[in-house]
Each structure stands twice: as structure tokens, then as C-alpha cells.
Structure 1
Amino acid sequence: MGREVSAQAAVLPRASDSRALPGWPARSDPSSLPHASPEAPGAAPAEVPLRRTGLCALMAATARRHPARVALVDAADKAAWSGRPAMTWTYGAAAEIVARLAGGLRAWRLAPGSRIGLALPGSTEGLVAHLAVEAAGHIPCLLPATWDEDQFAAGIEAAGISAVLTQARLGTARPAERLCRAAVRYFGLRYLAAFGPDVPDGVINLDEMVLDRRGGPVAAETGGGLISFVGGDPHRPVHRPGDALLAAVAVHLIAARVEPGERILTLVAPGDLRGVVTGLGAALVAGASLETLPVFDGAALGAALLRPVPTHLVAPAFLEPALARAALPDTLRTIGFAHRAPARLTGRSLRTAFAGGRAAVVDVVALDEDLVLSGTRGRDDLAFGLAEPERFGLPASLLSLRRDEDGRIACRGQAAKAAPYRRGEAGPDDGTAWRPTRYRPTLFAGTATGLTEA
């Protein structure tokens, strides 16, 4: 199913000295980081993960080699719904922020490998917070920012979360205040921190943590994977180890073929495995930039697409009819349409390419938090791969699929290592045993027309 992703080592660069960070007010020195302004990305060999490398280490490795390459880009309208300025970060600047946040998190009295919740939208703050949790030696837990107080309380307890990072404002909602009320109901939540503006009393200010220069360089940990929730259900956390997360990203990149210095423009939130694999994970493994549009706006999407950089768009599947009618720029390389099982594949356009045949179409389907499958429409179409999963064409050690006697898709391999999280129990297995999913393909004339729950 195309090329196989290779691997290289990754290490964390030194943190810079006494410079302020763009986007945060300077305490004493108004100068910015040397690589804080966006520059044109340069061509270079792809930097992709070793078996047990974390996403934070990939960020650090690219920052050391290509510090001026653009890494993270905010939506232009970010200030309207968050009260924070839209930022563009290079790899060098983003790695500095990750190191400072990680240093602050390490000062908390938490055991290594503690679960830290992330109730943040797909903004630059949320992305660097994810990496900082990894770099501090803990496990990121993806908490949907749209949860209510009861859902936050249930999810925090189910995953055994010791700390939560959030922000004060998200549109008309106030996630930090909502989490303050949820924290009262669970004694195990020891720390609550938020990005401003107007951080509530008693909540740690993450902006102050970013500006704190007292700590030294933070060595990146190997990455403990992540915890996410099946269908956003706070009672169903799933743990995926770090090597399994990177294997899942590799499965996606075999189809998406993102190159170093290119851009991923995503409309899919980073609140589950599908969002991380197609967004932050794919960008860091490929050495590309990631631009997020957490709040969908047609005009904002049109403006973002016009930027003169090779682009890989990731969008929810329901937007396919609209994008099929749109005038798309020549810079578009692929369009990924993200599905979630149960799903129908019959509503897809028969077109295998957009933008006058220059942009290939990649279908991405998530089977709960078990696995994410990606296939290029036409050549490696999911309609054929799901009908005969044994011929899916992936390296067996990475991911193998089959249909069990009851018709359900079963999986094994490095990308399939995941298990429901239960405190006091062993984590995911080694991926060598077959593990059934909840879904079976519906078949017609030798092709899969969708996935239904068994």
C-alpha cells in the first residue's frame, strides 16, 4: 500500500537563554526567540520516529535541524473565540515553549507516568501542552473541551487523572471554571492549570509557566502514548502506548504521503486518536507544519487554502459534497475525508482526485479508539481493503487485519496495541494476539459499502 515509513533518532535541543516568547508578554526582555517568525520551509530528508520515540522528541529533533521551519499555525479568528492572539510558531520556538512547560510540569509532585488531562481546542497552546506532558514524562489524556461538569468529573475519575490543563475561555464557555467545579468531586485531581485570559482564582496560570526561565533544559522522554475516550464516553478510557501511537501515524502516512516542509491543514479536532494521528502526529513524523481550524468558517478555510504552500487538507467526511463543488488551489496535494465507524461509504464521490486531478483523495476511518485506517481512493481504496482486509497491503508487523467468523474486523500488530484503561491492571498487550473490533463491513459486489456495529 505504498511506501513504508522509516525511522531516525530524535533528541531535544537546548532551551534558549533569557528571551521572551512571542505571544506572551515579556517580563524583562522584549526580544523574541531567534526563530519565532515564520520563514519559508526548507527541503530536507524526513525525520520520522524510532520504535519508542515520543512526539515531543520528534519536535525537538526537527527544531535542532530546521529551527526556522514553520511548525504550528493558529486560525486567523482565534482571538474571537479564545481571547488569545493567533500565532505562528517555528519548530525552534515551539520546542522552547514545550521545554518550558515541561519544566513547570516536572516541578509538580506527580509520579512519573501520571495521567494529565488536556481539555483544550486544536490551538497552538493545546498542541504544545500535549507535547509538554510527554516531555515531562507523563501521559496525555484527551478530554473533550465540550464536556459538561458531570462528564469531566466522570472522565477524570475513570482515567485516574492527577492534573488537567485547560484554558479560561472557549467561545461563550468557561472550561477552567467548569473544571474547578468538577475538581471538587474527585479528590485525586491535584493540579488544575489554564491558559488565560482571566484565569480563575486557585488555578495555575500556564502563561506564567511559559515565561518562567528558572528551569534548565528538559530532556524529552520516550513518550507514554495517550489516553482517549471511546466516542467521547467519559466512562470508557483507552490507553495506547507511545510506539503504538507512532505506528498508527505511520499507517496513515503510507496513504497520505506528507513530505517535510509541507502543510497539514485540519478541520478535525485533536480530541481523539483520529485527530492526533491525522494532525499533530502526522505533522511531527513528517517534519511538516500543522495549521488548525477548530471553529469551522467557510471564508476562513478559503483564505487558508490560498496560502502558497503544498497542503494536505483533513476534513470531516460530511464536507465532501461542498468541497467537490469548490474551486480548490493547485497547491493542494491530498484531501483526507475523516469517517468514524459506524459509517457509510456509499455517499462518497466517485472522483478519486480533486483540484483538477492534482489532489488525491484519502479516506480515513476510525474504529472507536482501536485503530485508524487510511486508504487512497481508487488505488488503495478502503472499499476494497475492508472487503478483503487480509490484502490491505500494510507491513504485517505494523498492522494486520482479518474478518472473524462473525464478520467483525480483527486486528493485530504494533498499530493495534491498545486496551481499556483500568487502574491497577496491566496495560495493552504486545500486539501479537488478534483483537476483534466492534465493527463488521457490509458487503456488496465484492466491495465494502460501510461499517456497521456487530
Structure 2
Amino acid sequence: MTQPTASPTLDTLFKRVLSRQPDALALVDPANKARVTGEAPRHLTFAQADRMISALAAHFIESSLPANSVIAVQLPNTVEFALTVLAAYRAGLVVAVLPLLWRQAELTMALNRTAARAIVTTSRVDGILYSDLAMNAAAEAFSIRHVCGFGTDLPEGMFSLDDAITRQSTTTRAVIQDGRKAALISFDVTSDGFRPVPRAHLSLIAGGLAMSLESDVPQGATVLSAFAPMSVAGLASSLVVWLLSGGTLVLHHPFDEDVLEQEIIEHSCDTLIVPAQLALRLDELDLAARMPSLRNVIGLWRAPEQVASSASWSARRATLTDVYLFGEAGLFGARRTAEDGSPALIKPGPHGAPRELPGTSIAGEILLTPRGTLGLRGPMVPVAAYAPPPPPSDSLIAPPPRDFVDTDYAARLDRATGALNITAPPSGIMAVGGYRFLAQDLQEWARRLGQGALLTALPDRLSGHRLAGRAHDHGRARDALAELGLNPLMVEAFRDRTNTA
């Protein structure tokens, strides 16, 4: 009796492309990487990337990281991120992605909640010493046994991965490549607070399929990703879309508009993945004429309630696919019509990828919950991670398990069209770009600053919200929040707004 074939992992997808075209260009660093991290940009073929992935995987194994243990990663959008993630999977590890906006307080909480055994970072990003942040957070996480990083001037006690990546180690470990195994832990904020969200390889691949098939990314595409990779959407829209297409992944560290245009032209990119507001801004600046190689633009909406009121897409050479993001719970995409460039109607029920093929099991299902909120179910949705706590009851019969995730986004049905309209974000949750937090946390941090301090979130058309603070001494407030290890968005909310012009 033959054994069933294991379902693919991201490393399996990489090796499939490697076997077909080892000398094809695989990964391209941001053109301004020297400014971002102080390191020279890399251009890697699949064979070169494979050797580096194996070297990093050998280092993780030799560092006594057990199979299925968690390795935390806080890296910018450079080739080191892709190499580290794929190396972790080759070594049988689970990757926990840590957003670059996070500072010591959030890093420490994430490391302790996931029992991470190692953390990978880089020396600096945009002048911030991330190596020091990682060392300080690791000192407060009892599970951390190995701290390593890329770049120069690493602090004492941090192992250099630039040394590991060039070694010719033959150390390997037998790892069953099964897509049902845990692959990723990302982090969300719901009304119940901070929430780690684990995912299997198949769930990640389903998210990438939903984007690539809906937007019709061709095989062998040259994809430029300018979306921060430290989330399920970021990973699916960069690594997964790239591996599914078997082409080239050009990376851009958000955001420099001139560098972005230079990279698209230099590498003849046909697919662009960016935050949706940026895509619409490029369209206003005559994207079609300035970047004629583009054929597909994938715009990711962190605030999906804004899609319906967004501007029409005018570029005719390139199609725009709106990707609705719901924190770390899931996503779905809808390509805009060529006639008027307006957002496509979203209807509840099963949807395929592409969306116009209903009934397929690839993408999932959209539903309106009895609470009047949008729910998601399907292969990419980690239902167990969002399961509500069991209600107090004297009954010995447990309630039936819920097979969908309630995103808490308010929604309603349009009786005329049957379309589902997303009307408001989750109550009590603030979002500044990709950074989500509870509204009550703002007041808690403001109270720590003493009497008269105020920290609040104001509505913002582009990022959802923006932070603003008031204190008797703004400079002292900034220093106090920085010492507490808080996110720079909170620290800079107390910047001096005096107009000195």
C-alpha cells in the first residue's frame, strides 16, 4: 500500500522552482538597502538562495533548536527575511513574525506568549538599533536560548548570521514536509486583547492563492512587493505569491516613491503589491505612462471599510485587485472592473479564486453574522485561534463549535444589489497603518505620564487613525514612553507641533 503524498510547504514550493530553473533570478534586494540597513543589496538566483537557506538551516540545527520550536523574526523587507523564513521551515521550525514598529514591551510579551527559543533581527533599520532591542527583550524572555542577527556592529552575545550564511555546513535534519504542520505565528489585537494566531503552511498558501489567482499573476512573473512582511497578509503577498508564480521577487522597504519607480523600471516588474492607498496615488500620477511594464497591481486594504468610497482606477494597461484585510483572521480579493474602475461588488457566500468561480474551496466563504458583522470561513482562516471562550453554564453539554471567525467589522446587505457593505471597523480597536491596539491602552499609557497628559487616536483617511498627545512637557513625555519600551507611534504622538516657519 502506497503512502499518501504529503501536502506542500513553502520550502516544497521553493524546491520545485529550484529544480526547474536553478539559475533564474529569484530574489532582489531594495535598491536603497545600504541606506536602510547599511548592507549592500543582493541579487540571488534560486541556486544561490538555496545554498544560503541550507547554511542558515544548518546553523539553526547546530544551535540546538528542537524541531517544531518557535523562532521569532524581526527583519525589514530584504532578502534576509525570505532566506530566514525558508531556512526555518527547512529546519522544521515555526516562525513568529514581529512587526518593525514593535519595541521592547511588545517584543517581550510576544516572546513569552509563544515560548520562542530564538530571535533573529538585524543590526539597524533606518538608524534604529534593532539588535539592542532584541537583546533587551530576550533578557526578559526565559525561553530564549539563541539571539542572532545580520549586519555589522552586533552587540556582544549576538551571533552573526552573515557568518553562518557563507558557511558550507552539511548539517541537516529529517523534516517531514507536510503543509498541515504549523508554519507561522502572527499577532492580532481583538476586543479580548493581544492574540497570537498560529497557522499551517496550507493556510498561508491558501491566502497567497486567493491573491494570485484573483489578480491573475502569470507564471514567471516579476513581482515587486512593497508591503511590510510581518503579518499573514505580508507573508502571503510576498513569499507565497512569488513561490506560486515561480518568478522573481523584487523587494522594496516601504516607502520611497522614487526608488519604487526605479525598481519597477529597472527590473521590468509586471506585478506590484502595495498598500491600496499608495496604489491609487500612483494611479493619479499616471502610473501607466511612467511604469509601462506593470500589468497587475494588488492593493492591500488594512481598513477594508474604506474600499467602497475609494477613487476609481483609471490605468487601463494594469488591473487593480482590492485585497480586504481583516487583521490576522483572513482576507479576500476582488478585481476591479475594466469598464469604470470602481470596486467590485462583494456578495456573501462561497467564493473561489478567481472570485467569479463560485463554489470552489480555494478561497473561502464570506458571511453576515447574526450580530451584523462580517464573518470568514475557509482554508486560510484559523478558526481555533479566534474561538470565543465557552460561556458559563451549568449544562454538561458543550455548545457546538463555531466554524467561522467573526471579524467584528460591521456590515450590512444592500437590498437592491445583494452586495455586502463593510461599514465600520471593530469597536474599541484602533489601527494606525498595520499597528492595531485597544483604545483603552491609550489611556493607560497616558495615566503613566501623570496628571494633564492625554493620548488619543484621531480618524485618518489613509491610515485609519493617527495618534496625538498632549502633556505639560512633550520632550519629557517622549523620553518617558521610550524608556517604557513603547511603540514609536505613541512616542511621536507627543512631538512638538509648533510651526517654526
TM bucket, shorter chain? 0.7 to 0.9
- For residues 387-426 of structure 1, what are the alpha-carbon distances to aligned partners after superposition, in whole Å with 9 as ceiling and x for unaligned? 434465454433122212222222322222354399xxxx
Alpha carbons 1:266, 1:279 under 8 Å: kept: yes
Secondary structure at 1:94's aligned position in 2? helix
- For residues 339-381 of structure 1, what are the alpha-carbon distances to aligned partners after superposition, in whole Å with 9 as ceiling and x for unaligned? 0145312342223x52xx1111100111111112111012798
Shift of 1:255: 0.9
Shift of 1:195: 0.6
| Corresponding residue of 1:279 | 238
Shift of 1:78: 0.3
- TM-score, with normalisation over the residues of structure 2? 0.73
Change in 2 beyond 3 A, CA 1:443/1:304: farther
Change in 2 beyond 3 A, CA 1:234/1:78: farther
| Corresponding residue of 2:178 | 222
Higher RCO (CA < 8 A, seq sep 6+): 1
Alpha carbons 2:368, 2:412 under 8 Å: kept: no
- TM-score, with normalisation over the residues of structure 1? 0.80
Secondary structure at 2:117's aligned position in 1? strand
Alpha carbons 2:73, 2:98 under 8 Å: kept: yes
2:294 equivalent among 327, 332, 335: 332
Equivalent residues in 2 for 1:103-122 (5 A)?
A: 103-122=58-77
1:301 equivalent among 260, 263, 280: 260
Amino acid at match of 1:284: L
Rounded Cα–Cα distance in structure 1 between residues aligned with 2:56 and 2:193:
26
Secondary structure at 2:266's aligned position in 1? coil
Alpha carbons 2:304, 2:324 under 8 Å: kept: no
Secondary structure at 2:7's aligned position in 1? coil
Rounded Cα–Cα distance in structure 2 between residues aligned with 1:51 and 1:337:
33
Change in 2 beyond 3 A, CA 1:102/1:124: same
Rounded Cα–Cα distance in structure 1 between residues aligned with 2:155 and 2:75:
16
Alignment of 1:158 with 2:90, yes or no, is: no
Change in 2 beyond 3 A, CA 1:378/1:388: farther
5+ long unaligned stretches in structure 2: 388-400, 427-501
Change in 2 beyond 3 A, CA 1:335/1:342: closer
Change in 2 beyond 3 A, CA 1:90/1:213: same
Rounded Cα–Cα distance in structure 2 between residues aligned with 1:330 and 1:251:
25
User: How many percent of aligned residue pairs carry the same amino acid?
Assistant: 24
Alignment of 1:136 with 2:91, yes or no, is: yes
Number of residue pairs matched by the alignment: 393
Amino acid at match of 1:453: P
Rounded Cα–Cα distance in structure 1 between residues aligned with 2:13 and 2:305:
33
Rounded Cα–Cα distance in structure 1 between residues aligned with 2:43 and 2:244:
19
Alpha carbons 1:142, 1:227 under 8 Å: kept: yes
Shift of 1:133: 0.8
Change in 2 beyond 3 A, CA 1:395/1:245: farther
Change in 2 beyond 3 A, CA 1:217/1:109: closer
Alignment of 1:388 with 2:348, yes or no, is: yes
Secondary structure at 1:358's aligned position in 2? coil
Amino acid at match of 2:65: L
Change in 2 beyond 3 A, CA 1:381/1:118: farther
1:438 equivalent among 383, 408, 416: 408
1:416 equivalent among 363, 367, 381: 381
Amino acid at match of 1:207: D
Rounded Cα–Cα distance in structure 2 between residues aligned with 1:158 and 1:366:
24
2:308 equivalent among 336, 346, 367: 346
Amino acid at match of 2:297: I
| Corresponding residue of 1:42 | none
Secondary structure at 2:272's aligned position in 1? strand
Alignment of 1:314 with 2:269, yes or no, is: no
Alpha carbons 2:273, 2:298 under 8 Å: kept: yes
Rounded Cα–Cα distance in structure 2 between residues aligned with 1:52 and 1:78:
36
